Homo-oligomer: A and B are copies of this chain.
Amino acid sequence: MNQPAPPGTKKSSNVVWCATHVSRADRERLNGHRGAVLWFTGLSGSGKSTISSAVESRLHQLGCRTYVCDGDNIRHGLNGDLGFSPADRVENIRRIAEVAKLFLDAGMIVLTAFISPYRADRAKARERMPRGDFIEVYCRCPLEVCERRDVKGMYRRARAGEIKEFTGISAPYEEPEAAEIVLNTDERSQEECVDAVIRYLRQTGVVAAELP
């Protein structure tokens, strides 16, 4: 009931239509920065979680309102009913995009850290957002390097056939063709990667250029 009452609508004498409504712009003014979606994508082990978390820390230190959506808080909660079938993977990304859109509307800088291997799914997520608010961050790292890191032991299990349809091994990863930010995580330090993201946010006015 955020709209004015349609003409001819009956009202109770006690409940008055409330046209005042807090908008995204109001929240952004209060926050002192614009909302944005930083959509991290890349192979398992390419640094999505690590770098998104480090970017969040830096933004938080700058006084920005931030939130990271990752496997920890999404797969165990909202998307706990989904598996890894093709249909479930599509639905997984769809819901993440919708949640990111809510946080964007709340005036926050939301960072999503999921492999999100399919171009079509990422394109759909982008299309759901107002133009310019969706910032694709590609954590580019050769498969051999990710596999050598094998932080969670997943590649070993995928090679052993214990995990089916593992991205990069037995399922495709479709590289972004025009990501706003490309981080070569095997060549750059975490610090340099974080700097690159923050620089982008300043250049595009998400975060004020004059912040420390």
A: which residues have CB within 8 A of B?
A: 1-2, 5, 9-12, 14-18, 20-22, 26-27, 30-31, 47, 49-50, 53-54, 56-57, 60, 63, 65-70, 72-73, 77-78, 95, 98-99, 101-103, 105-106, 108, 128, 145, 148-151, 185-190
**Is the pair A102, B69 in contact by a Cβ cutoff of 8 Å?**
yes
Chain B residues near A31 (CB, 8 Å)?
65
**Contacts A2-B49, A145-B12 known; A18 to B98 CB distance under 8 Å?**
no
Chain multiplicity (copies): 2
B102:A57 contact, CB within 8 angstroms:
no
Q: A1-B53, A22-B60, A65-B106 are in contact. List 7 more A-B contacts (CB 8 A).
A: A11-B149, A14-B187, A15-B185, A16-B50, A20-B53, A22-B53, A22-B56
Question: Could you say which residues of chain B place their CB within 8 Å of the CB of A27?
Answer: 60, 65-67
10 tightest CB-CB pairs across the interface, nearest first? Answer: A1-B49, A78-B98, A67-B106, A77-B98, A22-B60, A12-B149, A18-B54, A1-B50, A20-B57, A15-B47
CB <8 Å contact, A17 and B73:
no
Asked whether, in the complex, the Cβ of B30 is within 8 Å of the Cβ of A60, the reply is yes
User: What's the least CB distance linking A25 to chain B, in Å?
Assistant: 12
| Cβ B18 vs Cβ A190 within 8 A | yes
Query: With the chains together, A56 CA to B9 CA distance in Å?
Result: 24
Tell me whether A77 and B49 are in contact in the complex, defined as CB-CB below 8 angstroms, given that A20-B57, A188-B14, A190-B15 are known contacts: no
Task: Say whether B151 contacts A9, CB under 8 Å.
Answer: yes
Scoring A78, A105, A185 by chain B CB atoms within 10 A of each residue's CB, the highest score goes to A78
- CB-based contact A30/B63 at 8 Å: yes
CA distance A105 to B67 in the complex (A): 9
| Bound-complex Cα distance A68 to B21 (A) | 10
In the bound complex, do residue A106 and residue B108 qualify as a contact, i.e. CB atoms below 8 Å apart? yes
Question: What's the Cα separation between A99 and B60 when bound, in Å?
Answer: 21
Could you list some 21 contacts between A and B, CB below 8 A?
A1-B49, A1-B53, A2-B53, A12-B148, A14-B190, A15-B47, A15-B149, A15-B190, A16-B50, A16-B189, A17-B50, A18-B57, A20-B57, A22-B53, A67-B106, A73-B102, A77-B98, A77-B101, A78-B95, A78-B102, A103-B106
